[in-house]
């Protein structure tokens, strides 16, 4: 757990990194500040000295991750290529990003599903932000443009988003089951993800054919 790159960091930073790893693996409820301290190699009091409450420590980590994820999505939407190439590269980016961080979807989802407070917070801080509403409207405009040019079936923008999200996110959420139930090695899992990326891309694009 304690690796070389950590030794010169501040305690505050080390606590945060260990906490993040444990929250990712186990979720909020199943992770205690005692366990965080044990894995850092300090006392439990120190965790509270820096972050006061467990909730506070978690919120900082959580919001940082959500923000990073939303930025990946936002960047993918600002794309000047043809709509088909834009979709290809967006899906590819989502898969590649999540391969680096396969636990992220479940981490974000778990708290969002089981904690209404987090949904409220997300709505106030992101959904209501004009920047995000603007991005959605730009996407919708592109979809309408494609449809009027007869290059795309009459599918709603929201449905495209939901289908892409479903197919991408579920791939990573179900990964522990794929690995365990089918007894796969790391390399087999990697190949499987790359395979799903291709198939998801194919399915989504085929679904938009007129």
- The residue ranges that bind a second copy (CB under 8 A) are 26-27, 29-30, 106, 109-110, 112-114, 116, 119-120, 122-123, 127, 155-156, 159, 162-163, 165-167, 169-171, 173-174, 176-177, 180-182, 195-196, 199-200, 202-204, 206-207, 209
CA distance 93 to 99: 10
- State yes or no: residue 20 binds DNA (CB under 7 A): no
- State yes or no: residue 142 binds DNA (CB under 7 A): no
Residue among 1 and 203 whose Cβ is closer to a second copy: 203
- State yes or no: residue 35 binds DNA (CB under 7 A): yes
Residue 194 binds: one of a second copy, DNA, none (C-beta under 5 to 8 A by kind): none
Q: How far is the CB of 111 from DNA (least distance, A)?
A: 15
SS3 of 102, please? coil
CA distance 5 to 153: 52
The residue from 16, 20, 31, 146 that contacts DNA (CB under 7 A) is 31
State the virtual CA torsion across 20, 26, 27, 32 in degrees, nearest 10.
-80
- State yes or no: residue 13 binds DNA (CB under 7 A): no
Residue 69 binds: one of a second copy, DNA, none (C-beta under 5 to 8 A by kind): none
Burial 111-149 (b: 16+ CB within 10 A, else e): beeeeeebeebbeeeeeeeeeeeebeeebeebbeebbee
CB-count burial class (<10 Å; 0-12, 13-18, 19+) for 11 = middle
User: How many binding residues for DNA (CB under 7 A)?
Assistant: 19
């Amino acid at each position: 757990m304690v690796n070389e790159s950590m030794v010169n960091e501040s305690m505050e930073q080390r606590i945060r990194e260990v906490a993040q790893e444990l929250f990712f693996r186990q979720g909020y409820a199943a992770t205690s500040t005692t366990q965080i301290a044990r894995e850092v190699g300090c006392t439990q009091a120190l965790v509270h000295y820096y972050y006061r409450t467990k909730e506070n420590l978690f919120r900082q980590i959580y919001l940082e991750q959500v923000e990073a994820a939303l930025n990946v999505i936002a960047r993918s939407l600002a794309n000047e290529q043809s709509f088909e190439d834009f979709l290809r590269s967006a899906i590819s980016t989502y898969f590649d990003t999540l391969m680096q961080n396969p636990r992220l979807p479940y981490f974000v989802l778990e708290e969002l599903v089981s904690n209404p407070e987090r949904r409220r917070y997300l709505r106030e801080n992101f959904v209501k932000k004009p920047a995000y509403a603007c991005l959605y409207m730009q996407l919708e405009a592109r979809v309408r443009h494609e449809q009027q040019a007869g290059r795309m079936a009459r599918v709603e923008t929201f449905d495209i988003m939901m289908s892409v999200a479903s197919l991408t996110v579920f791939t990573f959420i179900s990964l522990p089951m794929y690995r365990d139930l089918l007894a796969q090695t790391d390399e087999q899992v990697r190949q499987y993800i790359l395979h799903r990326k291709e198939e998801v891309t194919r399915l989504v694009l085929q679904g938009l054919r007129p």
